[in-house]
Structure 1
Amino acid sequence: MRLAFSLLATFALSLFVLPPAWAEEAKIPVRVVVVTTFELGKDSGDVPGEFQSWVEKLPLGREIPAPGSDHGVMRYNPDLQVLGLATGEGPEHMASAMTGLVLDPRFDLRRAYFVLAGIGGIDPNFGSVGSAVWAPRVINGGLAHMVDAREIPKDWPDGFLPVQGASPGLSPVPALHSQWGDMGYTLNPGLVAWAYRLTQDVPLPDTKGLRASRARYRGYPQAQLPPKVMLGDTLSAETFWVGERMNRWAERWVKYWTEGKGVFATTAEEDVGFMQALSAQARAGRVDMNRVLILRTASNFDMPPPGQSAADLLKEESQESGFSGFMPSLDAAYRVGSVVVRELATRWDRYEETVPAAP
């Protein structure tokens, strides 16, 4: 009896001292995480959102329960070892989803690549609807002092100014990372350049609707070009702004916070939450910020064409039940993003240890 008890005690103790690889359940291997922000209905078979093309075409056939998330499930391709999720719209949903994912004990994401592939608005001074834009930088458009438009001093370009000061052109530019929050992020330049070069010749859909939409932007030569893959910075703000004056602010804001190096290209809500959450987890060694990419495809222009007001544009898009480039932008996000995802996943022996880069 005493011997049996001793053996049982030894076995029980061994459960606590065995090497972690034996004592813990094996992690689900992940090479690439595909991050989208919304789905309109089901993950497949109905009107698509950002997630559906990835589920149906990559494909992401296996469901993984995610009860604490906005979407409730994640999707997985065990052959490619690609994990996909829809985080919910807005920076709060994004930050919550990414933090929850990285802390999920089912995954080890220290060598995983993250590809955020979502739709957004585009500056007609930069490009046209239907285009796909890789972001070298993310600028925070939500953290600022703001003065009501009716009270802006005459010598100010707009009513937005850094929270660290009392003028729009505060000089020198405050540190991007301060007690006030993170105003800007630079993604791994080599990886961004590599993704762009890999996809720059991917053909993008050019529909009758896109051609009609861009034809209205007389005097904006970049807006009148067919869709293409581009490089340009994204401005991330939770408030869905629209209009020529706001577009001028966005262009100025990106130039200000990048000290003239950045070029405003696309609008987004979630990207600053994405970068903030991953950066925090990177400091704990749970992810690698050198393996992060952001792709935004243009579903609409961020300002109206000449002769139309901002309010008229919003009304028009509401009546049409969507943006002029909604479906083409969803298509472009998958067409371009999947090239990078498949390259990383299928040549894992090349990219597991070494992050790809282009000069």
Structure 2
Amino acid sequence: MLIRKSRRLLNWTSAALAAWLALAGCDDPVPVPVRMVVVTMFERGADEGDEPGEFQFWKERRNLNQRFAFPHSHHDLYYNADSQILGMVTGVGTAKSATATMALGLDPRFDLRQAYWLVAGIAGIDPEDASVGSAVWSAYLVDGDLGYEIDAREIPEDWDFGFFARRTRFPFDPNRPEPRGEMFLINAELRDWAYGLTKDLVLPDSPELAAHRSLYVEHPNARRPPFVTRGGHIAAMTFWHGALMNDWANGYVRYWSGGETDFVTSAMEDTGTYQAITYLHEAGRVDRDRFMVLRTGSNHTMPPPGITAAENLLRENEGYSGMRASLEALYIVGGAVIDELLSDWPRYSVEVP
């Protein structure tokens, strides 16, 4: 077993070294310059030509045709030498997203010191804030896993939830500790710049989405055609669903953001991704101020009236109501920001918006 592993490592190292030498054209490898990293989390099948996941539109439409083997992570990397865009697929969950980001950041084949990072993924979205197909720029990233938890059937009568912050005595304890991975505030000025650039974009809509919207009679924002907005994000390894969990997520994001925002989108990776970015920043490998999170709503995080949480969750397992529209919105909104950054690279390479 040890011999086989050693051979695999040797084979990968030799291949990587050969790639570096070929790129450099000499005996001293020159790292590949990267202006933009598009961070996606999953692909549904092939990278091209079938039902798309988060990565496919970027690979096809941005001509990310140069492959870099990435055996120490979830999925190979793809690059365009003209635009200097690098696309990655981290895998689902904070564990995979953190390790994939760290693996890329430490990979000597790439120069990421001036790269902007765009997390471009689908998400659950709160019907109180937005409709399926809407796009959300986030600055507050809250981790929904790091905490204490007691089964709700055993919590004190005056508690609303059984999950609460570590180093506190009860849910939403006003003596909030300093976050140690429970919350990250990324560059809000860059978030606001990206939002200002994209807030008036027209996003994909369809009769199917309109029919879905009509079910949410108690949530005016859920009934709007898809739009671009801002709001907090919660990342947790559990795919949760329902009105009670929705209330918890809103309160928990509001708690960790000090009331600056509540929960708008929910997914499984972004706190892990950004945790890795913070470490890489300290190592001089990346600039954490160039990190952006864009999530589009593929489904709501709670059911409409008349449907139970279990029924709605099982329906979503058969296919998200807004999958295609949310993927198109990711490309439209994220692409507008990428185009602006690349169109004036001499400026943005040294000056973060």
**How big is the alpha-carbon RMSD for the aligned residues of Structure 1 and Structure 2?**
1.3
1:256 alignment partner AA: Y
Q: Does 1:328 align with 2:332?
A: no
Name stretches of at least 5 consecutive residues in structure 1 with no aligned partner.
1-21
Deviation, structure 1 residue 123: 0.5
Q: Does 1:139 align with 2:136?
A: no
Distance in 1 separating the partners of 2:132 and 2:314: 18
2:67 paired residue number? 63
* Of 85, 88, 92, the match for 1:85: 88
Distance in 2 separating the partners of 1:61 and 1:339: 21
Deviation, structure 1 residue 340: 0.9
Residues 147-177 of structure 1: per-residue CA shift (max 9 Å, x gap): 1011121111211111112211222211013
SS at match of 2:321: coil
C-alpha contact 1:81 1:345 (8 A) present in aligned 2: no
Q: Does 1:115 align with 2:118?
A: yes
Distance in 2 separating the partners of 1:317 and 1:34: 26
Distance in 2 separating the partners of 1:25 and 1:342: 29
SS at match of 2:124: strand
1:129 alignment partner AA: V
2:338 alignment partner AA: V
C-alpha contact 2:251 2:262 (8 A) present in aligned 1: no
* Of 74, 79, 101, the match for 2:77: 74
C-alpha contact 1:40 1:48 (8 A) present in aligned 2: yes
Distance in 1 separating the partners of 2:157 and 2:177: 24
2:200 paired residue number? 201
- Relative to structure 2, which stretch is displaced further, 61-70 or 35-44? 61-70
Distance in 1 separating the partners of 2:239 and 2:94: 12
C-alpha contact 1:58 1:338 (8 A) present in aligned 2: no
1:135 alignment partner AA: S
Alignment length (residue pairs) = 329
Deviation, structure 1 residue 81: 0.5
1:344 paired residue number? 341
Q: Does 1:125 align with 2:121?
A: no
Give me the identity figure in percent: 47
Deviation, structure 1 residue 23: 6.4
Distance in 2 separating the partners of 1:202 and 1:54: 19
Residues 9-30 of structure 1: per-residue CA shift (max 9 Å, x gap): xxxxxxxxxxxxx863111110
2:104 paired residue number? 101
Distance in 1 separating the partners of 2:174 and 2:227: 36
Deviation, structure 1 residue 263: 2.2
2:239 paired residue number? 240
Name stretches of at least 5 consecutive residues in structure 2 with no aligned partner.
1-25
2:13 paired residue number? none
TM, length-normalised to structure 2: 0.91
1:9 paired residue number? none
Q: Give the greater-gyration-radius structure (CA).
A: 1
Distance in 2 separating the partners of 1:128 and 1:288: 33
2:275 alignment partner AA: Q
Deviation, structure 1 residue 135: 0.4
TM, length-normalised to structure 1: 0.89
- Moved >3 Å (runs of 4+): none
Distance in 2 separating the partners of 1:40 and 1:24: 38
Distance in 2 separating the partners of 1:275 and 1:207: 34
SS at match of 1:24: coil
